[in-house]
Amino acid sequence: MRLRTPQGCADESSVTLTRCLTITDTSAAWEALRRGHVSEVKDLPRKTVIFSNIQPEVLGETEGGVDCCIPRYSDVEIVNDDLCSICGVYTYDDLYPCRVCTRVYHSSCLQVYFRCDEDGACFRQVDKAIRSVTGWSCFKCDDLASLLTEDDMLTLTQAFDHCDTNQDSRVTMEEYVKYKRKAFREKTGSSLSVTEEEDERYKFALLAGGTGASVTWWTFLNNEALKMLSKRPKHELVKLLSEKEIQRARETFRFLDRDDNGAISYPEAAEAFNIWYRNFYQDRTVTWEDYLMDQTLLFLAVRPNLTCAVSGD
């Protein structure tokens, strides 16, 4: 919780505040659901957190002119961890790396974590992704909700509960459209047009993998989390990138920057990407800082795996 004070207030430096926040600790319940176990929870523990000596934050300048402060070149070699992120033990067994962070995992530890059957069917999806060209995001990087604030998570949880009218932890297209109708009416006082409703149905069908059947909480969560992240200033989003993601951005930028002058000209990028580049930048030169901030949301968007062994999608 951060309290902001507008610029120009008197005695800003002398103001301190204390706030008491009581929350329901749902971490154990979310972890169980993440592992694919849905159980009825009657009594959830509550925690009280006291924030003292809070210094009100003076609103700073807008995003214009803000430097992302990430160098275009780096000599630092990115090395994966030596120890399994689950058991914390080093062995000579094959370690499965995450394509986003530096964590590694034993195959046996992943099978236990995902609670795979004896035939290991659910793990084969993970194994296939790890050995693919794209790679695999570990269960920590796969969860975009970890990048959200507690207030954002509360908003999404409430939105899902409103959508999931029969409380089966899945949302059907009809439930989704019904929720969108209600939300639109509460916000504007009018009803969705036929075109707008068709557009919502199309979006849901894409979210459901083209089937239009239903989506799980985790699919809904990652999709809505990305929408929330897109509203943040670009220079703040850049701070969420991992070292591996930044390095991939460097490699792509160097490929486009043919004369290595620190900026991509229109002819340079048009030669490589043609229409793709024009859709993003049109007739302007793009610096490394502009490029990284413009592409950050795309890097975050592709973190989730296309198939998740625990989601049921």
**Site of tokens 């999608």:** 313
Strand ranges, E, within the chain = 4-5, 17-24, 46-54, 57-58, 95-97, 104-106, 170-172, 214-216, 263-264, 286-287
pLDDT digit string, tens, across residues 22-57? 555 555 655 555 555 545 555 556 655 555 544 443
Residue range 152-176: average pLDDT?
86
Domains of the chain: 4-58 (no CATH), 151-230 (1.10.238.10), 237-301 (1.10.238)
Confidence check: pLDDT of 164 > 70: yes
pLDDT digit string, tens, across residues 225-238? 998 999 999 989 99
| 106-110, 163-167, 231-235, 281-285: least confidently modelled range | 281-285
pTM score: 0.66
End-to-end, the C-alpha distance of the chain in Å comes to 35
Cβ neighbors of 202 (< 8 A, separation 6 or more) are none
Rounded-to-10 torsion of CA 101, 134, 289, 277: -170
